[in-house]
Amino acid sequence: MDTTYYDHGTHAERWERAGMFFDAKDYTAAARVLGSLVEEVPEQTAPRLLLARAYYHSAQLRRAETELRIIVDRDPVEHYAQLMLGRTLQRQGRDAEAQPHLRLAAALGGEFDES
């Protein structure tokens, strides 16, 4: 399989290309572009988070979970990653595992249970 188109260009060009694929709802193509980008700049959160979202939307839930766990391990207060991890676990039928992440995301988002 030729991946030249997906890997071609600067980081910024590939980031833009991945965003265009994502916006067009071509999540698999977005993931192909983002996969190599994340390998090259693993310390950056934004490409990894968009990769996780692309995996989630293309029903590659285990891959989404892997990327999201990397993010929350590095930055436990990353609100959206906590929310997405909870939703990803829920979608896999792992509700008990999802709940702590969803509660934390709600708290980080300012949603407090007043009961």
Query: What does the mean pLDDT of the chain come to?
Result: 92
pLDDT one-digit tens code per residue, 13-43: 999 999 999 999 999 999 999 999 999 999 9
State the Cα angle at 8 between 15 and 28, rounded to 5°: 60
Residues 31-88: pLDDT tens digits? 999 999 999 999 999 999 999 999 999 999 999 999 999 999 999 999 999 999 999 9
What integer pLDDT is reported at residue 63 of this predicted model? Answer: 98
pTM: 0.89
Is residue 76 within 8 A of residue 86, CB to CB? The reply is no
CA distance 73 to 20: 28
Whole-Å CA distances, 33 to 27, 104, 105: 10, 30, 28
